[in-house]
Structures are given as C-alpha cells and as structure tokens.
Amino acid sequence: MAAKQASEKVKSRRVFGQTRKPVKMFRAGLYARVSTSDQQTIPLQIRALRDYAVRRGWTIALPVKEVGSGAAQRECRERILQAARRREIDVVLVWRLDRWGRSVTDLLATLYELEHLGVGFVSVTEALDLTTPAGRAMAALLAVFAEFEREILRERVRAGLAHARQNGKRLGRPITAGLHADQVRKLYRAGVTKSEIARRLQIGRTSVRRILA
C-alpha cells in the first residue's frame, strides 16, 4: 500500500512523462509615487499594485510610498533598487512608468540595471511586463526614444552655444581670476586670509582656492 502511494506521488510530479518544475514564488517590491498636490491617489496605486501581485501569486516583500514635488526627487525609489541589488526582491511593480522614471533616459538606465540583476519590472496600468518577451520588446522601443531624447538635448545645447557666440558672449571658465594669480599668492604669503583676498581683488573665493591649490 505504501509503495503504491509513493508511486502515485511520483506520477503526480510528472507532466506528460516529465518532472514538473516547482512554481517560483516571486517577491515583489511595490513602488507608488505622487506629487505633494496629488496625495489622494496613493491608496489607489497601492491597492492596484497589491491586487495585481495577488493575482500573479507573488509575495509582497517591500511596499514603498514616495511623495515629491519635483521630477528629480526619487529618494525612496533607491530603497527598491537597493533591495534588488541585495537580491531581496524578484520583481518591481509600479502603477505607471512616469511614477518610476524621471525621464526616458533615467527609465531605461534603471530598467537595464534591473535586467542585469535578474529582477523583473511591471507597469500595471500600461500592461508593460518585462518578465515576458513582449515586454522586453517594448523596452527595446523605449531605448530608441531615449536616444531620441538625448539627441534633442544635444541639439539644444549646440544651438544655445552657437547663439551665445553670435552675441559675442565668451564661453568657458572666466579668465579674470587668472590675471590676479600673482597678487593672490603674494597676499596669501603675507598672511592675508582667502576671504579677504577675494574681497580685495573682487574675485570669487573658489577662484582664490583654485589658484592657491
């Protein structure tokens, strides 16, 4: 009887004659972010992320909420990235892509890092799942847009420099401080403080420190 039960257990682990692989329980990091003027959507985001994780059968390992007013503020996001680097999570869940990335370039940089770490990424409302082949194809398209964004920025910088030159504006580090180099060193050897030297010669204290360095 015992032998028969053991045989049935062995068969139950096989699918079409092959051993069934155990399903991996993914550990999910949830990231919700809002601006300071739109904090009421935090519960909506968290509920949507939790519901998605439950449907996928994932364990919620690290929920993170962030409130910020500027596009450059993503300090709490670093907690998610640190957890990924320590292999404490297997997938990152966000409500929308703009909640995660400051720009297309920043978005791609973090997605590449997560991919290198073997950590998945899912944007719930945009149906972007980088754990699937279709999602990885979408990431490739995002890379094209990132390069387009960088090229636009380069063109703007070049246009701004050209416009400044046409208006006779001198570009680069100011040379006025360098003209006072001998006086700066002479005063400093005489015991005059750096702040006083900058005041007397009407140059910046940073320039004084740079000359003396």
Catalytic residues: 35
CA angle, residues 117, 120, 121, in degrees to nearest 5: 120
CB 90 within 8 A of CB 119: yes
Contacts of 3 (CB under 8 A, 6+ apart): none
Gap between the Cα atoms of 42 and 66, Å rounded: 9
What residues form DSSP beta bridges with 27? 59
If residue 61 lies in a helix (H) or strand (E), which one and from where to where?
strand 59-67
